Structure 1
Amino acid sequence: LKALNQNENDGNLTDNTCAQLVERSLDSFLEYIEKRAQLDISGLFSPSWNTALENSLLWITGCRPSPYIRLTYALCGSQVEYQLSEIIQGLARGNLGQILATQLRMINNLHIKTIEEEEKLSSQLAGLQENIADQPIAMVAKRMSRVGESSGNVDHALDELESSMANILQEADKLRLSTLKELLAILTPLQGVDFLVASKKLHLCMHKWGKTRDNRQGRR
């Protein structure tokens, strides 16, 4: 991140270098998705390594993909304002401050499609959560003489529930990855690096801010 910032500030990022950085970031994200697919599914919905703030913002164990696009819009607006004098003088840096109207239309279409896919997955997850109040789990719990005692029927039902949750997680991760790929394909390599640096900074800041709030509340 420091190296990216330094190169970006010095204007030393070529299109080829930026393209390599974007590709490396996508490869890292794919590797992360593949590795965590092997982890305990229930633990991923409220990971212990996250702060309370981060966990409160999770969507199917991660970030909603639609904020990728909201962040892009925010960066476009802030950089246009920041670089207004340069833009007027025709001094283009090629970053998100100089995004084209055609790119914005494509990003808007991606935004709409992504939100629709998010809603489908959210609905599927809601259905799984509602199943807890249905047969057989709720009725077995009602009939138990001792609260929480072992039950083969419940274990089987919970195994099926976790399997279904894992499937939804896989679909959510696919959506996160595909949205990121499509967004970066719309942006130029330099704009892509611009976005990736900002998103990484946001992620790190949210973690730091969350730790500060946890300490303040005596949670950690």
Structure 2
Amino acid sequence: MSSFSFGRFYETWFDHLHHLLRQLSSSHRPPRTEEEKDKLLLLIDKMMSHYEDYYRTKGVAAERDPLQVLASPWASTLERALHWIAGWRPTTAFHLVYTESSLLFESHIIDILRGVRTGDLGDLSPSQFRRVSQLQCDTVKEENAITEELSEWQDSASELIDAGADIEEKIGRLVSIIRKADDLRLRTIKSVVGLLTPQQAVEFLIASAELLSGIRGWGINHDRPRISR
């Protein structure tokens, strides 16, 4: 897959993300019937399949041209400024959970003090908090290990211009690093969703999609004046 074709895929992928976001936002929360719960689960599956499709396609692009994927010319300058190895930092997912949980908790504080359960992200159980915290610690360790691996690859940059260097082997290592980063991103979002109830998972996925879309939209608007000069 050429960088140009992945760029087109990226645009199409975001268009469909907006479509799924509208579906998630219009869903009934909390679900009042088993049918509504099944619809939430179906929407969650659709969103997770959408993410899986993205990383599968990106993996093919990285295999063909890892340097181009790392540079990510199809992304806005704001997106690239926030990138960690050609994508969002996995631990961002936990900051999102904590932020959404705090905001919803504050908005429902009166109900919570009265013993009314809201069932949303502001109503995470102690067990859920413990599991999210442990997952965050594990993710930080993996994130740091991959960052160190990329740092070592960058430190060996002088070898890339060595006439006797195995360039293919060096580039192959970069492909592996990008794949590890993307695998951690996908596993993290799957693991977070797995710790949540269907209602909470939908709220997390809405917040995630809104963050991605918001950053991309702001970045495109920021780049537009510079492009038109």
TM-score range, shorter chain: 0.7 to 0.9
Closer, same or farther in 2 for the Cα pair 1:17/1:93, shift >3 Å?
A: farther
Aligned to 2:46: 24
Aligned: 1:100 with 2:125: yes
Structure-2 separation of matches of 1:136 and 1:209: 36
Work out the CA distance in 1 between the residues paired with 2:160 and 2:203. 51
Counterpart of 2:180? 171
**Aligned-residue identity in percent:** 26
2:209 to 179, 200, 211: 200
Deviation at 1:88, TM superposition (A): 3.3
Q: 1:104 to 1:130 in 2, by over 3 A?
A: same
SS in 2 for 1:37: helix
Letter in 2 for 1:73: Y
TM-superposition CA deviations, 1:50-92 (whole Å, max 9, x none): 1111001111111111110110000000001112233234443
Determine the structure 2 residue equivalent to 1:161: 170
User: Does residue 1:77 correspond to 2:102, yes or no?
Assistant: yes
Go from structure 1 to structure 2 and tell me whether the alpha carbon gap of 1:81 and 1:136 turns closer, same or farther (over 3 Å shift): closer
Alpha-carbon separation, structure 2, partners of 1:103 and 1:10: 18
- Which is further off, 90-99 or 194-203? 90-99
Distance 1:71 1:173 in 2: 18
CA distance in 2, matches of 1:205, 1:162: 33
Counterpart of 1:145 in structure 2 is none
Cα distance between partner residues in 2 of 1:131 and 1:93:
53
- How far apart, CA to CA, are the structure 1 residues paired with 2:135 and 2:52? 20
| Residues 1:116 and 2:141 are matched in the alignment | yes
**Bigger CA radius of gyration:** 1
Structure ranking higher on relative contact order (CA contacts 8 Å, 6+ apart) = 1
Deviation of 1:215 (Å): 2.9
Residue matched to 1:53: 78
Tell me the secondary structure at the aligned position of residue 78 of structure 2: helix
Q: 2:223 aligns with which of 209, 214, 219?
A: 214
| 2:70 and 2:85 in contact (8 A); partners too | yes
8 Å contact from structure 2 (residues 44, 202) kept in 1: yes
User: Are the aligned partners of 2:132 and 2:195 in contact in 1 as well (CA < 8 Å)?
Assistant: yes
Return the offset for 1:11.
6.0
Aligned residue pair count: 203
CA distance in 1, matches of 2:207, 2:112: 21
The verdict on how the C-alpha distance between 1:3 and 1:25 changes in structure 2, with shifts beyond 3 A counting, is closer
* CA deviation map 1:86-141 (0-9, x unaligned): 323444331101111110010000001100000000000011111112x351x55x
| Distance (Å, rounded) in 1 between the aligned partners of 2:45 and 2:124 | 20
**What's the RMSD between the two structures over aligned residues?**
2.1
CA distance in 2: counterparts of 1:193 and 1:82, whole angstroms: 18
Provide structure 2 residue ranges, at least 5 long, that are not aligned to the other structure: 1-20
Name the CA distance, whole Å, in 2 between partners of 1:66 and 1:53. Answer: 18
SS in structure 1 opposite 2:101?
Answer: helix
